[in-house]
Amino acid sequence: MGSPVTREPSLLVRALRGEKTERAPFWFMRQAGRYLPEYRALRAEVPDFIGFCLDPARAAEVTLQPIRRFGMDGAILFADILLVPYALGLEVSFKEGVGPQLAVVRTRADVEQLAGQTATSADRLAPVYETVTRVRGALPDACGLIGFAGSPWTVATYMVEGGGGHDFIEVRRFARRDPGTFGLLIDVLVEATIAYLDRQIVAGADAVQLFDTWAGILAADEFDRWCIAPTRRIVEAIRARHPTVPVIGFPRGAGTSLLRYAGETGIDAVGLDAGVAPSWAALALPGRVALQGNLDPILMTVGGEPMLAAARAILAAWRDRAFVFNLGHGITPDVPIENVAALSRIIQDWRRPDRPA
């Protein structure tokens, strides 16, 4: 049912599908955001962050802003992982300096109420699909458009904690104490996420990423059930509907569980955080999985030779792999624009030694 693919696959999509491309495509997590004055100007017009995400004209514009400045090979849809709980009918708000706040989900009754919402939740995000279509229409063909969602585990952490957590006691205790009910919550999120990503792809997304920002807080014996299994269900459903659209999984902080994640979820590409040595990833992760990452984002605030040397080390370590250059986590608001420009240039100038183009 997917939209017909008429364009040549972009450099980004080729790399995500496992091709050792002549140069490495790049994009940066949180590339649209407060480090850009043009983002801050548009954001100031809409005080409510959810309203901003659901405003297709503005969301499309901020998606395009970093591409115009730096020429990334991938644009990431401007939206947020907390739009899925919002679409399920949960109260979600963003407070300046506090971060996200959500109505808490902790009881069987809370979860059952959400379960009644899955059938229509994807429709409530119709403005997001309009943003996707607008961005795809405005982007150069050579630039890939990445849709995204949070992984069920990470989205559940915000729902159970009622916001961002520090030690995540509530969600970890819920999963241990009542895995049946917690599993129902994960099921609700799996279904909602499949529907949401499917609609993004139909609207024009060329690849999708699942952000599992809090994968790293799972105990090893919980990782399969709450991270790998839900991810595999989403990947299988998306692949069945859209076999040529790559799925990127980003299990931040997964540590040694990365091996099972890369081997068992079926993802096309694995996003790596800065805790993973590039040389280890090159040797240890399965060859059929493309790598994405993983410059330490703090280096973007330092700039100069420390940043450039670390970037060169990644490019050298992955010269024999299919990969996409990215950061290990998102750009922070304090990053100087000239550092983003300098980093972009050295990635754009790199050529794979055996494939000079």
**Residues at the interface with ligand CP3 (CB under 6 A):** 29-34, 43, 49, 76, 78, 80-82, 94, 99-100, 148, 164, 211, 213, 330
Let me know if 30 is a catalytic residue.
Answer: yes
167 is catalytic: no
**Is 14 among the catalytic positions?**
no
Residue 26 sits at φ, ψ, to 5 deg, of -145, 150
Cβ nearer to ligand CP3, comparing 211 with 226: 211
- The catalytic residue among 39, 55, 58, 80 is 80
Which of 39, 129, 158, 261 is labelled catalytic?
Answer: 158
Half-sphere exposure (Cβ direction) of 214: Cα atoms closer than 13 Å: 25
Q: Would strands 99-102 and 92-95 be described as parallel, antiparallel, or unpaired?
A: antiparallel
Contacts for 68 with CB less than 8 Å, ≥ 6 apart: none
Structure tokens at 60: 């499309």
Minimum separation from the CB atom of position 166 to ligand CP3 (A): 12
Q: Distance (Å, rounded) from C-alpha 257 to C-alpha 158? A: 22
Smallest gap from residue 62 Cβ to ligand CP3 (A)? 8
Q: Which of 43, 241, 351, 352 is catalytic?
A: 43
In DSSP terms, 92 is beta-bridged to: 102
CA distances to 82, 84, 95, 155, 160 from 87, rounded to whole Å, are 9, 5, 19, 12, 16
To the query of whether residue 80 is one of the catalytic residues in this protein, the response is yes
Q: Which is nearer to ligand CP3, 148 or 196 (CB)?
A: 148
Query: With respect to ligand CP3, which residue has the nearer C-beta, 297 or 317?
Result: 297
Cα–Cα distance, 74 to 173 (Å, whole number): 38
Instruction: Find the catalytic residue in 17, 34, 260, 352.
Output: 34
Nearer to ligand CP3, 82 or 317 (CB): 82
* Shortest Cβ 98–ligand CP3 spacing (Å): 9
Report, as residue numbers or ranges, the catalytic residues: 30, 34, 43, 80, 158
